[in-house]
Amino acid sequence: MLEYIPYGKTGYFNQLVTDFLAEQPQIRPFYTYSPVHPDFAAAMQARQKFDTPRAALVAALEQQYEALEPTKAVQDNISALLQPTTFTVCTAHQPNIFTGYLYFAYKILQTIKLCANLKAQYPQHNFVPVYYMGSEDADIEELGSIYLDGKTLTWNTAQQGAVGRMQPEGLETLLADVKKALGYAPHADELMTLLQKTYLEHQNIQTATLYLVHALFGRYGLVVLVPDNAALKRLYLPVIKDELFHQTSFGIVNNTLEQLSVHYKVQANPREINLFYLQDGMRERIVQEGDQWKVLHTPLTFTAASLEAELEAHPEKFSPNVILRGMFQETILPNIAFIGGGGEIAYWLELQQLFAHYQVPFPVLLLRNSLLLVDEQSRQRMTKLGITTTELFKTTEDIVNDYVKQHTNASLVLKDEYAAIDQLFDVLEAKAKSIDVTLMATTASERKKALKSVGKLEHKFLRAEKKKFAWQTDQIRQLKNKLFPAGSLQERKENFMPWYAAEGPAFLDRVLAAINPVTDQFTVLDCDSCD
């Protein structure tokens, strides 16, 4: 069963996201195409005017895929990228261990689904789904943990720098924990075999993640792009040089932020130089001090000449931060649409003028699909309690209170009593005014006290009545904890593995079928075999 709820009615998405989807006038100037009725034909036309480095891109991808088992759908898509009639749809995410969160899979499946839909709409073109791996991210605290079976499992490693370059040492312990959590689910053994090959037979996290994502999604033709690549970064040298020597992006993005921040909280602030210096075990900011460029927290220092020489010899050592990463992606890919979460959309809205300055086409921005998977036991509880899907998105206490008020025989809402107090104090205020106008303030103060006392009684009545519904309130709390772990959206906490262990590849097929690539609706999907 599928149900849909507008994002704005879930209570889990901020104003920027809902305004973006609604195309509100205060946010509409910051992106090029409608996120709910996008003009893909216009995006393709704009992209065709840009000189995408297709041959270099394909050469880099073929090299990345050399060690992987060939998959015809992927090989065909990589070859198709040489043709000017082929475009990409891209999503991006860091190489979280074990893929991190459920929405990792959702983003990729949405990218795949959109490409299929576009091919049906524009059969004269080809559309290739791309997962751009944010392998240079250094946030190991975020990327090194997963939530499984009600527990947070953390990879204890002392390695530093880009997570993609880290060696997957010490993950044997986590693999044992994962195996225990998955138990004897029908597809647990095949999943564990895949995970062991992923993390015990690859030299670093980015090659391991490439292997895992290819194994899971290669049959759909998904192409994985690892941007930590000298040949690919060489294609971005003009922008990197401009950033190092002129700091162009700082002024342009700050100008956008002045306008955007009038209405919304800023997602990412630009620095004077929006590049890191990257080596194994280290990713540090580059700063300019006078006529020298320094790598923070290291003894590395460059003159203009030595910095340019380093850049020409080792472009892979220069890593764009969030301000420059998106334009790097759009420079090397023939991309027409980018699928991202709310946080990603927020920082992309800062970048349109930067793209215009460098004459790089700005893609269609689409909010990633959000899904809630409802297992059979939870659906049965909902039916028994009479709780609708929309009601699920309320806070636990609101659901409990609404349930008790709906099913009690007592009058818990003291509307008549509030009205009676207001009526009484209206009379008293009139009398106070006729006796001494200064008494009106005292009377108003007493009115507030009386209403507050009634409110306290109302709260105590409800609390007492809840005790009569102890079983039902306990069921409601269990339901919410199951579907909204730690008070969060399921997709932002849970990992895909329990569902995959239960259903195998069919799980991904079913989610793919449920996805609507261009939508302003949250999806609720019943998951009968996932208990």
| pLDDT, tens digit, 9 for 90 and up, residues 255-265 | 999 999 999 98
> Do residues 222 and 241 both lie within one domain?
no
Would you state the pLDDT for residue 466?
61
**Does residue 413 have a pLDDT over 70?**
no
> Is residue 417 very low, low, confident or very high in pLDDT (cuts 50, 70, 90)?
low
What is the pLDDT, as a whole number, of residue 98?
97
* In the block, residue with structure tokens 């209570």: 11
Q: Does the CA dihedral 132-135-139-145 come out positive or negative?
A: positive
Q: How confident is the model at residue 468 (pLDDT cuts 50, 70, 90)?
A: low
The mean predicted confidence, pLDDT, of the chain is 92
431 and 454 part of one domain: yes
The two structure tokens encoding residue 134:
């944010």
In this structure, are 133 and 214 located in the same domain? Answer: yes
Give 240-253 as a DSSP string: HHHHHHH-HHHHHH
Q: Is residue 257 assigned to a domain?
A: yes
The string of DSSP codes covering 439-473 is HHHHHHHHHHHHHHHHHHHHHHHHHHHHGGGHHHH
CA–CA separation, 168 and 498 (whole Å): 22
Amino acid making up residue 256: T
Q: Is residue 518 part of a domain?
A: no
Tokens of 358: 């460098």
The reply to whether 531 falls in a domain is no
List Cβ neighbours of 60 (8 Å cut-off, separation of 6 or more): 229, 231, 232
Contact 360, 465 (CB under 8 A): no
Share of the chain above pLDDT 70, in %: 94
Whether 289 is in a domain gets the answer: yes
Residue 161 token pair: 């720098």
Q: 41 and 165: one domain?
A: yes
Task: Order the strands of the 371-375 sheet from edge to edge.
Answer: 2-6, 521-527, 371-375
Looking at per-residue pLDDT, the higher value among 501 and 528 belongs to 501
Question: Does 446 map to a domain?
Answer: yes
Q: How confident is the model at residue 447 (pLDDT cuts 50, 70, 90)?
A: confident
Between strands 292-295 and 301-302, the pairing is antiparallel
- Residue 54 sits in the same domain as residue 195: yes
Q: Are residues 206 and 267 in the same domain?
A: no
| Beta carbons within 8 Å of 246's beta carbon, 6+ residues apart | none
157 and 99 housed in the same domain: yes
pLDDT digits (tens, 9 = 90+) for 489-512: 999 999 999 999 999 999 999 999
User: How are strands ordered across the β-sheet holding 318-320?
Assistant: 301-302, 292-295, 282-289, 275-279, 318-320
> Cα separation of 515 and 102, whole Å?
14
Which residue, among 111, 307, 311, 380, has the nearest Cα to 223 in the 3D structure?
A: 111
pLDDT above 90: percentage of residues in the chain: 82
pLDDT band at 531 (very low <50, low <70, confident <90, very high): very low
Judged against a pLDDT cut of 70, whether residue 458 lies above it is answered with no
Same domain? 30 vs 142: yes
CA gap 78, 51 in Å, rounded: 18
For position 427, what pLDDT does the model report?
75
| pLDDT for 439 | 77
Backbone Cα Rg of the chain: 28
Mean pLDDT over 187-212 rounds to 97
CA atoms within 13 A on the CB side of 405: 12
d(CA 71, CA 73): 6
Q: Mean pLDDT throughout 193-199? A: 97
What pLDDT is attached to residue 316?
96
Instruction: Tell me, rounded to whole angstroms, the distance of Cα 489 from its chain centroid.
Output: 11
* Residue 391 covered by a domain: no
Could you give the number of structural domains in the chain?
Answer: 3
- The boundaries of the domain holding residue 435 are 397-484
* Token pair recorded at residue 2: 């599928």
Question: Which secondary structure element, helix H or strand E, spans residue 261, and what is its range?
Answer: none
Q: Which of 397, 383, 386, 408 is nearest to 480 (CA)?
A: 397
Asked whether residue 35 falls in the same domain as residue 184, the answer is yes
Cα–Cα distance list, 97 to 29, 378, 423 (Å): 37, 28, 64
Asked whether the predicted pLDDT for residue 26 surpasses 80, the reply is yes
Which tens digits make up the pLDDT trace of 150-179? Answer: 999 999 999 999 999 999 999 999 999 999
How far, in Å, CA of 76 to CA of 74, rounded?
Answer: 5
The mean per-residue pLDDT over the stretch 70-91 comes to: 97
Band (pLDDT 50/70/90 cuts) for residue 433 is: confident
Report the C-alpha gap between 216 and 214 in whole angstroms.
Answer: 5
Dist. CA 229–CA 326, nearest whole Å: 16
Pinpoint the alpha helices (H) of 205-284: 205-217, 230-234, 237-246, 248-260
Q: Which of 66, 65, 122, 56 is nearest to 89 (CA)?
A: 122
Domain boundary among 320, 354, 388: 320
In a domain, 428, yes or no: yes
Residues 222-251 have pLDDT tens digits of 999 999 999 999 999 999 999 999 999 999
State the pLDDT confidence band at 442, using cuts at 50, 70 and 90: confident
Does the structure show a pLDDT above 60 at 410?
Answer: no
SS3 258: helix
Per-residue pLDDT band at 415 (split at 50, 70, 90): low
- Please give the residue that has the higher pLDDT: either 390 or 465: 390
Which residue type sits at 153? L
Domain boundary among 257, 291, 320: 320
